[in-house]
């Protein structure tokens, strides 16, 4: 039997990158999945493609996680499609890097609104139903930036540290009521955003980024999705309020 047979899952940022890889993996394991994303074109294309590929149901719902009203409307629509939600994966995110003293207030708000508050908005929307059934798995996609600081990356690490804190706090708060909350902290993963950034670097810098990784290669979105699958399944039922690093070991190495 597939590992998520009969489960109902919501995945934010589901139309690309780690979110899309997670949707694909969940469908392959028998879950019915709602892809939530604000990119309507990608959402329609990918949800139609995946729905035709798998026996499990796949639907796309437009949601801007930074807008609490959009989240409420999107979750209501998604719940009407699937009837309930067993699993929530918060994968929606955006890179915001800048100088602390010259950073625009709008960029600060955008970073926190999408990378931290968006996850909280989604959790607020689905948690009551999970608590009513005493069952629910929540997986937040954090970042290695939530563990180690890279100069020039402010304020992204602020949001990701907060997301890991949110994960731990809620995981403990609801541990005795059938809810598990965990997070994953990816390092340099081959996603559209990472590919765009690397394309802007010269060949020497691209090679340096690979050499910084002990395994001498970038991670793949599917490798993060595999961990999300494990955490979202009942196989991980004694794992709670925990963050798992997926960075090829880079954060454990002292770099000169």
Q: Which long-range contacts (CB under 8 A, 24 or more apart) does 94-100 make?
A: 95/156, 95/193, 95/197, 96/155, 96/156, 96/159, 97/152, 97/153, 97/154, 97/156, 98/154, 98/155, 99/152, 99/154, 100/154, 100/155
Taken as a whole, the chain contains a residue count of: 256
Cα–Cα distance, 142 to 34 (Å, whole number): 20
Cα–Cα distance, 250 to 256 (Å, whole number): 13
Two tokens at 209? 């980024």
| φ, ψ dihedrals at 171, nearest 5° | -60, -40
The answer to whether the Cα torsion of 232, 234, 236, 237 is positive or negative is positive
| Residue 9, number of CB atoms within 10 A of its CB | 27
Helix axis angle, 17-28 relative to 221-232, nearest 10°?
50
Positions annotated as catalytic residues are 156
């Amino acid at each position: 039997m597939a590992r998520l047979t009969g489960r109902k899952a919501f995945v934010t940022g589901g139309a690309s990158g780690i979110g899309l890889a997670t949707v694909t993996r969940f469908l392959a394991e028998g879950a019915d999945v709602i892809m939530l994303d604000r990119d309507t074109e990608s959402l329609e294309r990918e949800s139609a493609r995946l729905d035709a590929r798998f026996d499990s149901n796949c639907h796309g719902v437009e949601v801007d996680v930074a807008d609490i009203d959009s989240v409420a409307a999107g979750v209501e629509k998604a719940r009407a499609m699937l009837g309930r939600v067993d699993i929530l994966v918060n994968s929606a995110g955006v890179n915001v890097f800048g100088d602390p003293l010259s950073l625009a207030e709008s960029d600060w708000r955008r970073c926190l609104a999408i990378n931290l508050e968006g996850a909280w908005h989604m959790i607020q929307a689905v948690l009551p139903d999970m608590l009513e059934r005493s069952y629910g798995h929540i997986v937040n996609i954090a970042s290695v930036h939530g563990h180690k600081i890279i100069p020039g990356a402010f304020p992204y690490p602020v949001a990701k540290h907060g997301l890991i804190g949110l994960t731990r706090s809620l995981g403990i708060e609801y541990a005795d009521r059938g809810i598990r909350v965990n997070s994953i902290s990816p390092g340099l993963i081959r996603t559209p955003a990472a590919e765009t950034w690397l394309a802007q670097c010269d060949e020497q810098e691209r090679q340096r980024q690979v050499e910084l990784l002990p395994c001498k290669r970038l991670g793949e979105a599917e490798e993060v999705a595999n961990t999300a699958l494990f955490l979202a399944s009942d196989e991980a039922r004694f794992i709670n309020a925990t963050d798992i690093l997926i960075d090829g070991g880079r954060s454990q190495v002292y770099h000169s």
